[in-house]
């Protein structure tokens, strides 16, 4: 029985080891395929923190991926070191998410969903028209060193962080607060749950996960 209980963690460690060794195998096709799967998991799981745990359907989640990607690329091409570009991507996206949370979380249900969806065309228009910053339709060309292998390793690390954070949310007081907001926000406020603050924190957390995924993509 104890051996069966140890089996899932061992399988998980084995899977991580295989994924870690994959970019060094020389098979670009399998590495690209695994990279795409990792990216899909990061985006899907971080989206679930808001939509699944808290019950707010965020149709504009991909906007934070774009903000993070652009922030990372702009800072990196500007001559800053990689780690500074990474921090800038997280910081810029966290600030944007916090500012957007103020008007968006005054809405509920379908109104929140469609308001978040409006972020996508808005940011697309900005990306195309702020040519001095984003270089418009031409995009930003990153240094040659930022290619598949580094991007894959970053994606794998972010995937593991996302998985661990998800496990922690399920058993934490913060996770129960999100579930109470999903079930009945007014009752949650009545019993002392700071629903507005919890909602904003939950909104910003996946928003910071999305840019980590976004900064992998420009490297591709």
Kindly report, residue by residue over 1-36, the tens digit of the pLDDT: 344 345 567 777 888 888 888 888 878 888 889 988
What Å distances lie between residue 10 and 6, 44, 103, 165, CA to CA?
6, 24, 45, 20
pLDDT at 42 over 70: yes
Distance between CA 67 and CA 56 in Å, rounded?
21
Q: Convert 155-170 to b/e letters by CB count within 10 Å (16 or more is b).
A: bbebbeebeebbeebe
What is the length of the chain? 220
Which pLDDT tens digit goes with each residue over 60-119? 888 888 888 888 888 888 888 877 888 888 888 888 888 888 888 888 788 888 988 988
The confidence score (pLDDT) of residue 170 equals 76
198 or 76, which is more confident:
76
177 or 191, which is more confident:
177
Which pLDDT tens digit goes with each residue over 116-148? 898 888 888 988 888 888 888 888 877 656 567
User: CB of 152 within 8 A of CB of 31?
Assistant: yes
Domain positions in the chain: 59-214
Which pLDDT tens digit goes with each residue over 146-155? 567 888 888 8
The confidence score (pLDDT) of residue 11 equals 79
The confidence score (pLDDT) of residue 103 equals 85
The dihedral over CA atoms of 61, 43, 182, 90, expressed in degrees to the nearest 10, equals -70
């Amino acid at each position: 029985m104890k051996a069966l209980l140890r089996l899932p963690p061992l399988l998980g460690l084995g899977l991580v080891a295989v994924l870690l060794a994959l970019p060094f195998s020389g098979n670009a096709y399998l590495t690209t395929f695994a990279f795409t799967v990792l990216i899909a998991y990061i985006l899907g799981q971080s989206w679930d923190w808001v939509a699944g745990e808290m019950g707010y359907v965020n149709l504009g989640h991909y906007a934070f991926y774009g903000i993070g990607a652009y922030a990372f690329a702009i800072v990196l091409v500007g001559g800053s070191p990689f780690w500074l570009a990474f921090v800038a991507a997280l910081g810029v996206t966290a600030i944007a998410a916090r500012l957007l949370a103020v008007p968006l979380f005054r809405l509920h249900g379908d109104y929140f969903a469609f308001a978040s969806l409006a972020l996508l065309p808005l940011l697309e228009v900005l990306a195309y028209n702020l040519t001095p910053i984003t270089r418009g339709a031409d995009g930003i060309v990153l240094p040659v060193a930022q290619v598949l292998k580094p991007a894959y390793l970053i994606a794998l690390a972010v995937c593991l962080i996302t998985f661990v954070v998800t496990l922690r949310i399920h058993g934490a007081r913060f996770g129960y607060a999100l579930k109470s907001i999903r079930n009945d926000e007014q009752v949650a406020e009545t019993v002392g749950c700071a629903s507005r603050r919890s909602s904003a924190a939950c909104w910003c957390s996946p928003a910071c996960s999305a840019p980590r995924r976004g900064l992998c993509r420009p490297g591709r």
